[in-house]
């Protein structure tokens, strides 16, 4: 597909007030001189000033995955989302949409909602009980003897929210990138058959990785390290990301199995009218994406030791368990696996320049019964183990980036998606700093 790049607002926002001109010039130079095909220089993973730039140029500008609607199934349900200095309330509305509000009280700035999730009518600050409606309007702020003031000037600040196939995306930019409309249209046909509106959360796991958020994403974009994922390699072909000429001798048999499974999956997708083509625009559009439907090993149904289903209930109106996985990725911080029997969402949320929260959520059909239709431990085993292994890899790299001996190393051909992620990242930051 031809890339279509729309423009986004490019201003230094608050950076000019938090970093001095010489710091900004130095950082701009570092980005501009990025050596293509090589890992980033150490400060990208360790420097708090670069983290500040990223919080504005990346996380303050682009669309981020926040949650699925299964996490906020009823009106009034909410989740809070924290990254860097930001905290958002994602609130389900009566009409099935979402409102996204900055979680910063307009009285004296307290966090308004402190739980990770819950349900509320009005939004009440716990400090002096200023009360906001679901739109963020201030509706109650009384104090004995207080003169009246114009409450309409003190609503919670709003951010943007979009629901795409049951996934909630947010942006705190004044004018978020407009090519997300095109991306939504691409994603829709792939994920709609899984009908997230009829799913529920089976399990959610938050882990804090002692590593910069980019190391988390770099690790996610390649399978060069998949020998380190014995559980995952039972179902996910460890040849992911390779082409014919790149297959090492020890994976030739796996490659042949993958090729046969791919052909069978494509025939099945054609029969059911499911899209499977790879659409890869990781660094050729503002909202960098990759989506495809790919075969799984063994029975080809799910992320289990033998590839068999992990929940007995098919999602949505799907008619076949053997549909591999729809794999979806959105820059800068999310990736997804849609199987016939369950969905897994992943979001990486930076805490600071050396820590990242990784949130993994397993969704099953809303009528699936734990212990009857699925075993929670079996459902979550493969990716719980994979997450632990990935956390260790990320942390090893963070330790290395902090060493005076660290030097940039070359990406292998099979790491082309890591290179694309870094391309996307440096382009977006340079646009912002321009
Ligand atoms: Fe929220 Fe005072 S800071 S009511």
Atom of ligand 1 lying closest to residue 112 CA: 1
Residue 125 forms part of a structural domain: yes
Q: According to the model, what pLDDT value does residue 248 have? A: 85
* Closest C-alpha residue for ligand 1 atom 3: 108
- Measured from CB, residues less than 6 Å from any atom of ligand 1 are 105, 107-108, 110, 125, 127-128, 130
Atom of ligand 1 lying closest to residue 130 CA: 4
Is residue 16 very low, low, confident or very high in pLDDT (cuts 50, 70, 90)?
low
Q: What is the 135 CA–ligand 1 centroid distance (Å)?
A: 18
* Closest C-alpha residue for ligand 1 atom 2: 128
Q: Give yes or no: residues 355 and 247 share one domain.
A: yes
CA angle, corner 415, sides to 231 and 31, nearest 5?
A: 130
Q: According to the model, what pLDDT value does residue 18 have? A: 77
- The answer to whether 31 touches 425, Cβ cutoff 8 Å, is no
Residue 3 forms part of a structural domain: no
87, 101, 104, 107: residue to mutate for ligand 1 pocket, most atoms within 8 A of CB: 107
115-124: long-range contacts, CB 8 A cutoff, minimum separation 24: 115/80, 116/79, 116/80, 117/71, 117/72, 117/77, 117/78, 117/79, 117/80, 118/77, 118/78, 119/74, 119/76, 119/77, 119/78, 120/76, 120/78, 120/91, 121/76, 123/89, 123/91, 123/156
Q: Give yes or no: residues 266 and 347 share one domain.
A: yes
For the segment 99-114, what is each residue's pLDDT rounded down to a tens digit? Answer: 999 999 999 999 999 9
Q: Give yes or no: residues 134 and 186 share one domain.
A: no
Query: Residues 312-332: what's their mean pLDDT?
Result: 97
Q: Give yes or no: residues 282 and 393 share one domain.
A: yes
Q: According to the model, what pLDDT value does residue 327 have? A: 97
Q: According to the model, what pLDDT value does residue 387 have? A: 98
Residue 278 forms part of a structural domain: yes
Q: What's the pTM value of the predicted model, to 2 decimals?
A: 0.94
- pLDDT above 90 coverage of the chain, percent: 86
Q: Give yes or no: residues 322 and 194 share one domain.
A: yes
Q: According to the model, what pLDDT value does residue 13 have? A: 58
Query: Residues 58-84: what's their mean pLDDT?
Result: 98
Is residue 17 very low, low, confident or very high in pLDDT (cuts 50, 70, 90)?
low
Residue 335 forms part of a structural domain: yes
Return d(Cα 203, Cα 236) in angstroms, integer.
Answer: 21
Atom of ligand 1 lying closest to residue 109 CA: 3
Q: Give yes or no: residues 380 and 421 share one domain.
A: yes
Q: According to the model, what pLDDT value does residue 386 have? A: 98
For the segment 213-232, what is each residue's pLDDT rounded down to a tens digit? Answer: 999 999 999 989 988 999 99
- What is the CATH classification number for the domain harbouring 90? 2.102.10.10
Helical axes 21-32 vs 416-433, angle rounded to 10°: 150
411 compared with 242, residue with greater pLDDT: 411
Atom of ligand 1 lying closest to residue 108 CA: 3
Q: What is the 137 CA–ligand 1 centroid distance (Å)?
A: 14
Return d(Cα 276, Cα 190) in angstroms, integer.
Answer: 8
Is residue 4 very low, low, confident or very high in pLDDT (cuts 50, 70, 90)?
very low
Q: Give yes or no: residues 219 and 160 share one domain.
A: no
Q: Give yes or no: residues 129 and 230 share one domain.
A: no
- Pick the last residue of a domain from 164, 197, 219: 164
- The answer to whether 291 touches 187, Cβ cutoff 8 Å, is yes
- What is the CATH classification number for the domain harbouring 369? 3.90.380.10
Answer yes or no: is pLDDT of 427 > 90. yes
Is residue 408 very low, low, confident or very high in pLDDT (cuts 50, 70, 90)?
very high
Q: What is the 111 CA–ligand 1 centroid distance (Å)?
A: 8
Q: According to the model, what pLDDT value does residue 3 have? A: 32
Q: Give yes or no: residues 158 and 185 share one domain.
A: no
Q: What is the 76 CA–ligand 1 centroid distance (Å)?
A: 21
Question: 321: domain range?
Answer: 178-430
Q: What is the 350 CA–ligand 1 centroid distance (Å)?
A: 26
Answer yes or no: is pLDDT of 2 > 70. no
Q: What is the 16 CA–ligand 1 centroid distance (Å)?
A: 29
Q: According to the model, what pLDDT value does residue 9 have? A: 37
For the segment 339-383, what is each residue's pLDDT rounded down to a tens digit? Answer: 999 999 999 999 999 999 999 999 999 999 999 999 999 999 999
Q: According to the model, what pLDDT value does residue 8 have? A: 35
128, 131, 140, 141: residue to mutate for ligand 1 pocket, most atoms within 8 A of CB: 128
* Closest C-alpha residue for ligand 1 atom 4: 128
Query: Residues 404-431: what's their mean pLDDT?
Result: 96
Residue 257 forms part of a structural domain: yes
Q: What is the 106 CA–ligand 1 centroid distance (Å)?
A: 7
Answer yes or no: is pLDDT of 336 > 90. yes
Reduced to 3 states (helix: H, G, I; strand: E, B; else coil), residue 342 is strand
Q: What is the 107 CA–ligand 1 centroid distance (Å)?
A: 5
103, 105, 123: residue to mutate for ligand 1 pocket, most atoms within 8 A of CB: 105
For the segment 94-153, what is each residue's pLDDT rounded down to a tens digit? Answer: 888 999 999 999 999 999 999 999 999 999 999 999 999 999 999 999 787 777 889 999
Answer yes or no: is pLDDT of 323 > 80. yes
Atom of ligand 1 lying closest to residue 129 CA: 4
Answer yes or no: is pLDDT of 6 > 60. no
Q: What is the 184 CA–ligand 1 centroid distance (Å)?
A: 37
Atom of ligand 1 lying closest to residue 105 CA: 1
Answer yes or no: is pLDDT of 73 > 50. yes
For the segment 234-287, what is each residue's pLDDT rounded down to a tens digit? Answer: 999 888 777 777 888 888 888 999 999 999 999 999 999 999 999 999 999 999
Answer yes or no: is pLDDT of 172 > 90. yes
Q: According to the model, what pLDDT value does residue 434 have? A: 87
Q: Give yes or no: residues 141 and 185 share one domain.
A: no
- The answer to whether 422 touches 20, Cβ cutoff 8 Å, is no
* Peptide linkage before 332 cis (omega within 30 of 0): yes
Answer yes or no: is pLDDT of 304 > 60. yes
Q: Give yes or no: residues 150 and 217 share one domain.
A: no
Return d(Cα 180, Cα 286) in angstroms, integer.
Answer: 8
Count of Cβ atoms closer than 10 Å to residue 188 Cβ: 12
Q: Give yes or no: residues 277 and 398 share one domain.
A: yes
256 CB contacts (<8 Å, ≥6 apart)?
none
Q: What is the 155 CA–ligand 1 centroid distance (Å)?
A: 12
Domains identified in the chain, total number: 2
Q: What is the 35 CA–ligand 1 centroid distance (Å)?
A: 48
């Amino acid at each position: 597909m031809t890339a279509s790049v729309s423009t986004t607002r490019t201003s230094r926002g608050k950076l000019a007030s938090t970093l001095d001109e010489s710091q900004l010039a130095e950082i701009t130079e570092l980005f501009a001189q990025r050596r293509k095909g090589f890992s980033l220089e150490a400060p990208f993973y360790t420097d708090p000033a670069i983290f500040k730039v990223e919080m504005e140029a990346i996380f303050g500008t682009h669309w981020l995955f926040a949650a699925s609607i299964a996490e906020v199934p009823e009106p009034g349900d909410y989740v809070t989302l924290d990254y860097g200095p930001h905290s958002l309330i994602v609130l389900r509305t009566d009409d099935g949409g979402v409102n996204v509000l900055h979680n910063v009280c307009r009285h004296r700035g307290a966090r308004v909602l402190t739980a990770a999730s819950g349900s509320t009518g009005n939004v009440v600050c716990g400090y002096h009980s200023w009360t906001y409606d679901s739109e963020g309007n201030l509706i109650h702020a009384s104090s004995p003897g207080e003169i009246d003031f114009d409450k309409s000037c003190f609503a919670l600040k709003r951010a943007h929210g979009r629901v795409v196939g049951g996934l909630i995306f947010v942006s705190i930019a004044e004018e978020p990138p407009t090519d997300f409309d095109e991306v939504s249209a691409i994603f829709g046909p792939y994920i709609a058959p899984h009908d997230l509106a009829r799913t529920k959360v089976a399990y959610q796991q938050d882990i804090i990785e002692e590593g910069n958020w980019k190391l988390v994403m770099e690790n996610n974009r390649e399978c060069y390290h998949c020998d380190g994922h014995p559980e995952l390699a039972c179902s996910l072909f460890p040849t992911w990301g390779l082409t014919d000429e790149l297959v090492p001798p020890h994976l030739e048999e796996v490659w042949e199995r993958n090729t046969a499974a791919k052909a069978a999956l494509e025939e099945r997708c054609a029969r059911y009218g499911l899209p499977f083509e790879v659409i890869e625009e990781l660094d050729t559009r503002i909202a960098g994406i990759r989506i495809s439907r790919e075969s799984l090993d063994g029975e080809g149904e799910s992320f289990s030791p033998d590839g068999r289903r992990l929940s007995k209930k098919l999602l949505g109106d799907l008619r076949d368990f053997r549909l591999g996985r729809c794999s979806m990725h959105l820059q800068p911080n999310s990736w997804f696996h849609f199987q016939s029997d369950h969905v897994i969402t992943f979001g990486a949320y930076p805490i600071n320049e050396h820590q990242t929260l990784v949130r993994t959520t397993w969704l099953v059909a809303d009528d699936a019964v734990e212990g009857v239709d699925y075993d929670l431990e079996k459902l979550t085993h493969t990716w719980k183990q994979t997450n632990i292994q990935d956390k260790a890899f990320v942390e090893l790299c963070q330790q290395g980036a902090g060493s005076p001996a660290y030097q940039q190393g070359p990406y292998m051909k099979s790491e082309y998606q890591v290179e694309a992620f870094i391309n996307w990242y440096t382009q977006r930051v340079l646009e912002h700093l321009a």
